[in-house]
Structure 1
């Protein structure tokens, strides 16, 4: 039985349309403003007809046959991606803390105690121990 425009839509139907709208935004057919407007209308929609109007000016998208994602830059062989991400996070957080420390030191006209060492030190030691003594492969279930 075909779905008539007056039939009530389910949450799964709205999620499917949201995925289609995201795909069209990723492909450049919708701006972020248009996407946000349609998404707002989407979650207020009650019927199939209201859902259909949100995508009526867009071509059909088969979400099952999407193009392959572009591969990220390869990481050194044997490096665990989670460990690389943890080191990057540590570096960014440490950098932000040092910038804050520098701003406070400059604006107070006095050299403030280097408290960022307490943030980056223990965290860095844990990461270093994980890097040196940890396994290089992620655990699989």
Structure 2
């Protein structure tokens, strides 16, 4: 069945269009300002027709036959979106660095000081946890 312009687009479809826009920007067909404007519109788009309008003035664009790149928003084997996995990695790295700093300061002070890294990792971790549990893998929620 052919995709009609009114049919809803998926996150994978948006990722394909983003790849097309990046390629045409790299080739000099569109400027960085145009790229940023189109990218903003891209993530607001809901249908194939809206996606097609973003690439209508660019050559050789067929949205149905483009592969999704490896780092796309498709969930990995564990079911976690790659962006969410990256957010958890950043949280873990920042938390680890803060705890190491706290430990060094405590050792050099000769006494355990107030565990201030909890204020860094706590709220951030709660937000990530809620996003992971209740956010699901949908990145394009309706407004």
TM range (shorter): 0.3 to 0.5
TM-score (norm 2): 0.45
Greater radius of gyration (CA)? 1
TM-score (norm 1): 0.45
